[in-house]
Structures are given as structure tokens and as C-alpha cells.
Structure 1
Amino acid sequence: MSAAPPPCTLVQLLLPLRGADGQRWPRAMLDAVRDELSARFGGATAFVRAPAAGAWEDPGGEVQRDEGVPVEVMSGRLDRVWWAAYRATLEARFDQDEVLIRASAVERL
């Protein structure tokens, strides 16, 4: 019987496909995030061909819509301080109030 692989964390980011002016971000900006995460974590997947469509209600009660590119990274350790700083970097780079980053414990099979 083989030993179970160690637990790991799946980190998911949702990057905006367009700026506040409605123009698509250059593909190179999304590729740069994937490359940065790959260099740090040994790999990353950006789902650039299947953008996610989102909708939410703003504080004024109006429904806002946008499209985002999901990016995933698997890591053996979750460094919350590093992720908070990287989220701030992405928010500035993509001119966003918030870039969604979430983490889940996963089991590798």
C-alpha cells in the first residue's frame, strides 16, 4: 500500500478580462501573472479561453457584470502574508477595488 500524498492547498484567483473603460487587457498581462505564479509555485493554470461571467449587486442596488480569467495554483503551504501582498499588487496592476483570491484544502489523488 502506498502512502497518501501530503495535503495541499488550491489557490484560485479571478483576474478581470477588461479594464474599467471596457477595453480588454492585453493577453501579456494575464500571461505575466501565470508566469509569476509558475516561477514561485512550480506551475499555474490560467483558463484564458473560458472566461468566467460574473454578476453582482453594487451598493446602489444596480447589477454589475464582468468577465474574469480563473487562475489556479497548487501549493503545499499557504502563505497568507505573501498572498495578501500579491493581491494588492494585482489590484494596482489591473486597477481593481478587489481581486478575488480564495484557497481550499484539497487532496491529491
Structure 2
Amino acid sequence: MHLIQLLLPLFDNDGHPFPQTIYLQVRDELAEHFGGITTYVRSPAEGLWKEGKTSTVRDEIVIYEVMAKELDRSWWKEFRERLELLFRQESLVVRASHIDIL
């Protein structure tokens, strides 16, 4: 079993919030495709990373999770690329972990 996490930004690169309809669209598509979804949206997570040696970038994100028996890398690559366009990002983090259901 695989746990796939999507880290989605709350704001565009100019600091404007994305409309809620975008998150609902992504949520509904994932729920339909995988049969369920978990969303972490109440308390946004904070991401920090370095750009260059002196600049630190801060981002508020929400996390969407789905579980899948098989990891279809080509489907996820296409989906991530669509999300990057939708959220106007150079890259978005979509990560997968192998998990055991206990």
C-alpha cells in the first residue's frame, strides 16, 4: 500500500489566496479516483526553504492524502504537472511512501 501526499499552497507567488473552488476540484477528483481522501486544511502547515545562500522563502500549505494499492507514477506525474499549472507553481511536492496497514 502507498500513501501519497500532496502539498498545496494557500497563496500564489504574489500573496493572493487561491479560490476554494480549486481545492474542492482537486479533492473531488482524488476522492473519485481513489475512493477516498484525507485533507489537512484547518491549521495550515508552514514550509520554509532556502533560495540561494541568504533568502528564505515561507509558504502556507494544506496537505491532501490518498492511499493506493499500486503507485502509478505516470498518472501522478501528469496530475502533478496539471496542479503546477493550476496553482501557477514551478513545482509542487507530491510524495509517496510505502506503508503497512496494521
Work out whether the TM-score is over 0.5: yes
| Corresponding residue pairs, total | 102
What percentage of aligned pairs have identical amino acids? Answer: 45
| Partner SS state of residue 84, structure 1 | helix
Alignment pair present for 1:102 and 2:95: yes
Point out 4+ residue stretches in structure 1 off by more than 4 angstroms. none
Query: Which residue does the alignment assign to 1:80?
Result: 73
Where do 5+ consecutive residues of structure 1 fail to align? 1-7
User: Which one has a larger percent strand, Structure 1 or Structure 2?
Assistant: 2
Query: Which residue does the alignment assign to 1:38?
Result: 31
Alignment pair present for 1:22 and 2:30: no
Residue from 63, 67, 91 that aligns with 2:56: 63
Q: CA deviation at 1:60?
A: 5.4
For the pair shown, the structure with the greater C-alpha radius of gyration is 1
**Rounded Cα–Cα distance in structure 2 between residues aligned with 1:63 and 1:10:** 29
Where do 5+ consecutive residues of structure 2 fail to align? none
TM-score, normalised to structure 1's length? 0.89
**Rounded Cα–Cα distance in structure 2 between residues aligned with 1:48 and 1:42:** 19
Residue from 6, 20, 23 that aligns with 1:13: 6
Query: Which residue does the alignment assign to 2:40?
Result: 47
The superposition leaves residues 32-70 of structure 1 with CA deviations (integer Å, 9 ceiling, x where unpaired) of 111110010001112111211011001353001010111
The superposition leaves residues 4-29 of structure 1 with CA deviations (integer Å, 9 ceiling, x where unpaired) of xxxx1000010010011201111111
| Partner SS state of residue 97, structure 2 | strand
Q: What root-mean-square deviation, in Å, do the aligned CA atoms of Structure 1 and Structure 2 show?
A: 1.0
